[in-house]
Chains A and B, each alone.
Chain A
Amino acid sequence: MIWNETKECMSRDEIHNLQSARLKKLVKRVYHNVEFYRKKMQELNLEPGDINGIEDLHKLPFTTKTDLRDNYPFGLFAVPESQIVRLHASSGTTGKATVVGYTRKDIDIWQECVARVLAMAGIGSMDKIQVAYGYGLFTGGLGLHYGAENLGATVIPMSTGNTQKLITMMEDFQATAIACTPSYLLHIAETLEESGKINKINLKAAICGAEPWTENMRKEIETKLNLKAFDIYGLSEIIGPGVAADCEYHNGLHVYEDHFLPEIIDPNTLQPCKEGEVGELVITTLTKEAMPLFRYRTKDLTSISYEKCQCGRTIARISRFKGRSDDMLIIRGVNVFPSQVEAALLEMGETRPHYLLIVDRINNLDILEVQVEVEEHFFSDEIKELEKLTKKISRVLQDALGLSVKVTLVEPKTIQRSQGKATRVIDRRKLI
Chain B
Amino acid sequence: MVIKQLSVFLENKEGRLESVTQALCKEDINIASFSLADTSEFGLLRMIVSDPEKAKKILKDMGFSAKLTNVIAVKIAQKPGTLHEVLKLLFEAGLSVEYMYTLATKGKNTSVIMKLSDLDQALKVLDTAGYEVCTAKEAYEINNCVDK
Contacts and interface: CB of A to CB of B under 8 A. Distances in A.
Interface of A: 374-376, 378-379, 381-384, 386-387, 390, 408-414
B44 A383 contact: yes
Interface in B23-42: 37, 39, 41-42
B56 to A, nearest CB: 11
Given A381-B44, A411-B11, 14 more contacts: A376-B67, A378-B65, A379-B65, A381-B46, A383-B99, A384-B98, A386-B39, A386-B44, A387-B39, A390-B41, A408-B41, A409-B41, A411-B10, A411-B16
B109 interface: no
B101 to A, nearest CB: 12
A411 B115 contact: no
Nearest to B64: A411
Given A390-B41, A409-B41, A414-B11, A382 B99 contact: yes
Contacts of B16: 411
A384 B44 CA distance: 11
A382 B9 contact: no
A414 B11 CA distance: 10
Interface in B47-74: 63-65, 67, 69
A411 B65 contact: yes
A209 to B, nearest CB: 34
Contacts of A408: 41-42
A143 B101 CA distance: 60
A376 B68 CA distance: 11
Contacts of A376: 65, 67
A413 B63 contact: yes
A412 B62 CA distance: 10
Contacts, number: 53
B97 to A, nearest CB: 11
A415 to B, nearest CB: 11
A387 B9 CA distance: 13
B73 to A, nearest CB: 15
A374 B9 contact: yes
A379 B9 contact: yes
A390 B39 CA distance: 12
Contacts of A414: 11, 63
A115 B63 CA distance: 59
Contact of A381 (B5, B42, B64): B5
Interface residues of B, number: 20
Nearest to A383: B37
Given A408-B41, A409-B42, A379 B67 contact: yes
9 contacts: A375-B65, A378-B65, A381-B67, A381-B69, A386-B9, A386-B39, A408-B42, A411-B16, A411-B65
B21 to A, nearest CB: 16
Contacts of A412: 63-65
Contacts of B5: 381
A400 to B, nearest CB: 21
A383 B39 contact: yes
Given A410-B11, A411-B9, A411-B16, A374 B65 contact: yes
B7 interface: yes
Contacts of A411: 9-11, 16, 63-65
B65 A381 contact: no
Interface string B1-24: 000010101110000100000000
Listed from nearest, the 5 A-B pairs whose CB atoms lie closest are A381-B7, A413-B63, A379-B65, A381-B69, A374-B65
A363 B5 CA distance: 43
A386 B7 CA distance: 13
